[in-house]
Structure 1
Amino acid sequence: MPTSRKPLRPAAPAGVEAQALATRVLAMQAEAGLTIAMRMPILMKGALGDSSGQREATKAVVEKVSAVVESSFAASCAATMFWWGLALNPLAQIDLSEAAAKVANSTLEPFARRTRANAARLTGRRR
């Protein structure tokens, strides 16, 4: 049986980006669950008039709005860098899945940073 003489392709860089993205999402899920579990009693006190609970609710809303703004800016920058790279070097080999994973990673970064900080703050852990 004849064998192929084609050299084996190295692992695609997109695989590394995708793995980093999957790892980030899993870590965020765990930290978000922890944050929700730790925040619920504080928010319940706030609903009953406790000022610290009301501050926590305000902080959560402001934090989410700022994360959305920062995330959309990061996604726009990452996508723009991809398109500028393509426009300036049209003959370059482009891996669309790697570019998409980079955009997704940069989009999740503001949320990941805040989720990690909240989990640490609410559980009393120090980073």
Structure 2
Amino acid sequence: MPSSRKPSRSAVAAGADAQVLAARVMAMQAEAGITIAMRMPILLKGAFGDSRGQHEATNAVMEKLSAMVESSLAATQAATAFWWGLALNPPGQFDMAAAAVRAADSTLEPFARRTRANAARLSGSRR
């Protein structure tokens, strides 16, 4: 009798979640490139005293700081949920792959949201 090595639903779902996360990371990288390319001339003008460029530099630093704090809180919350889920569920009942994808997704979301908004604002398009 031949044995079937069909992946479980959990493994398939975790793989799909990982692919979605990878696609989001690639989109975020593209939007970051657009943001950097559009922001550089503005920042260069700010280095020579232009108030808009100086304001853009201040906004960039503040956005990164707030995204870092928000991301840290999300990572802490996801790690706490991961360990509680691992501790409170019977062995074999906790989906570690899905929990890892949720942790990575919640950690990246603050940066992704700001990157998407900056790319749209600086390129003049609204999504």
| Equivalent residue number for residue 9 of structure 1 | 7
| Equivalent residue number for residue 98 of structure 2 | 98
TM-score, normalised relative to structure 2 = 0.90
| Equivalent residue number for residue 65 of structure 2 | 65
TM-score, normalised relative to structure 1 = 0.90
Shift of 1:56: 0.1
Give the counterpart letter for 2:2 in structure 1: T
Q: What is the root-mean-square deviation in Å for CA atoms of aligned residues?
A: 1.5
Q: Which runs of 4+ in 1 moved over 4 A?
A: none
Q: Distance in 1 between matches of 2:106 and 2:20?
A: 11
Q: Distance in 2 between matches of 1:52 and 1:89?
A: 54
Shift of 1:92: 4.7
**Pairing of 1:1-127 with structure 2 (within 5 A):** 2-4=1-3, 6=4, 8-11=6-9, 12=11, 13-127=13-127
Identity rate, percent: 69
Give the counterpart letter for 1:32 in structure 2: A
Q: Distance in 1 between matches of 2:58 and 2:5?
A: 58
Q: Distance in 1 between matches of 2:92 and 2:8?
A: 18
Q: Distance in 2 between matches of 1:56 and 1:7?
A: 55
Task: Tell me if the contact between 1:28 and 1:116 (Cα under 8 Å) persists in the aligned partners.
Answer: yes
Q: Distance in 2 between matches of 1:53 and 1:114?
A: 18
Give the counterpart letter for 2:79 in structure 1: A
- Where do 5+ consecutive residues of structure 2 fail to align? none
